[in-house]
Structure 1
């Protein structure tokens, strides 16, 4: 199953805020032996959000959506999802009770809007202020605030996707090639993928030195080790110089060893 992320808000597209959710989600999935397949950043545009939700609902992916579920006029996620799903926007009784319990009389007339959800939604508990997120048709909606959103995503993963979790971690190993052009090693890359179809290969030429290429091999550890050993032998036979490059915990690369 593919897993995607929707990150919603004009502030991300204007540069007022930098997204942190993608890095978090990659790590949360990796700890469970899962991977992120795609990410979209979408502004607070009603028609664009409806179109986006229609596309993602039809794809059948598991989707984590961050932001846009508050009570202000620019929080469009709930009504746009309802339109895209073809359902009514209704007050969820459990969400109403939680918001009333949290805010009392001040829940009305505005905060209670956060309990108005697309028909058929199930709640995601919020450990910070008890205002819930919600799930509908494999889509899981949480606030934009990381301190709320991230434990809510962890809860969804452990509650709804535990059957997909695996103790077999996916790893990535990098080689930096020197003194060769990317076009010269395309047949070698094709041969690697034919021999090891269960790994992913990436090729990133340097923007400053066209004779330097970073090759990444990703997959289950045992298969990555086998593929990398094969690749190292083939490069040595072709007298292509190479060095290992470490991958840090946040997914960035370190200088070659």
Structure 2
């Protein structure tokens, strides 16, 4: 059985304007790799209802899971709840238990903005938020989380136990002190030998000269080790420095 798949949608004009730098994608990708879910796509989209709905409709059919971050806060431009409700053609309802939690926490400071975060599409399963109370939610295979990294992380950890796991993906890497063009032909040859190993070549600078990081990833540890040995073999043959 192939591993489950997922996509991530980062929602927010602030991301597209450059005002806010995303800190969620890398963490989600790493956690998905830990549990054998293949992270295959990430999109950054604006706070636009038509765009959000279109994007989610497309991705929910392509992947096992779709995660979103952003747009579930207290302000007028937090529209993820409204978009998902419209997409599933269900009304928005106020969750009594969330309201009660807000009342206990905020007391006299409770206002309409806070109460807005107790509104969810009818039928949604709530995602606990142990950091700041306001929940995320799930509708079918779409999980909607906060955009604030600390909050997103606790929501993600609450979600993970409910996800179908796949085979863990392992990786090995080699830093080569030579440019990609020198090793590309041999590296491509190794990729042809091991179809179940994902090979990637990533250039970087070392002491002002071109260097390349070769990364191998697979859920098959035997194939991974064999591919790694093949890479080391051709590096020795080429006479390039590596570590």
TM-score between both structures, scaled by the size of structure 2: 0.82
Q: Does 1:109 align with 2:115?
A: no
Match in the other structure for 2:13: 10
Match in the other structure for 1:226: 226
Contact 2:179 2:203 in 1 (8 A): no
Residue correspondences, number:
238
What is the alpha-carbon distance in structure 2 between the residues aligned to residue 62 and residue 56 of structure 1? 9
Contact 1:204 1:215 in 2 (8 A): yes
What is the alpha-carbon distance in structure 2 between the residues aligned to residue 184 and residue 58 of structure 1? 36
Q: What SS class does the counterpart of residue 123 from structure 2 fall into?
A: coil
Match in the other structure for 1:51: 54
Q: CA deviation at 1:200?
A: 0.3
Could you list the per-position Cα deviations for residues 114-151 of structure 1 after superposition, in whole angstroms to 9, with x for gaps in the alignment? 12211221011111222111111122112122222211
Match in the other structure for 1:251: none
Q: What SS class does the counterpart of residue 129 from structure 1 fall into?
A: coil
Q: How does 1:25-40 map to 2 (within 5 A)?
A: 25-40=28-43
Structure 1 stretches lacking a partner, 5+ long = 245-256
Of the candidates 165, 171, 196, which is equivalent to residue 194 of structure 2?
A: 196
What is the alpha-carbon distance in structure 2 between the residues aligned to residue 204 and residue 176 of structure 1? 10
Once the two structures are overlaid, the 10-residue window that deviates more, 73-82 or 19-28, is 19-28
Q: How does 1:146-165 map to 2 (within 5 A)?
A: 146-158=149-161, 160-161=162-163, 163-164=164-165
Judging changes above 3 Å, is the alpha-carbon distance between structure 1 residues 109 and 211 closer, same or farther for their aligned structure 2 residues?
closer
Contact 1:4 1:63 in 2 (8 A): yes
Judging changes above 3 Å, is the alpha-carbon distance between structure 1 residues 137 and 225 closer, same or farther for their aligned structure 2 residues?
same
Could you list the per-position Cα deviations for residues 38-82 of structure 1 after superposition, in whole angstroms to 9, with x for gaps in the alignment? 222222222211221111222243122111101211101111122
What is the alpha-carbon distance in structure 1 between the residues aligned to residue 180 and residue 112 of structure 2? 66
Once superposed, what is the RMSD of the aligned Cα atoms? 2.9
TM-score between both structures, scaled by the size of structure 1: 0.78
Match in the other structure for 2:172: 172
What is the alpha-carbon distance in structure 1 between the residues aligned to residue 226 and residue 166 of structure 2? 24
Q: CA deviation at 1:196?
A: 1.5
Match in the other structure for 1:41: 44
Once the two structures are overlaid, the 10-residue window that deviates more, 89-98 or 4-13, is 89-98
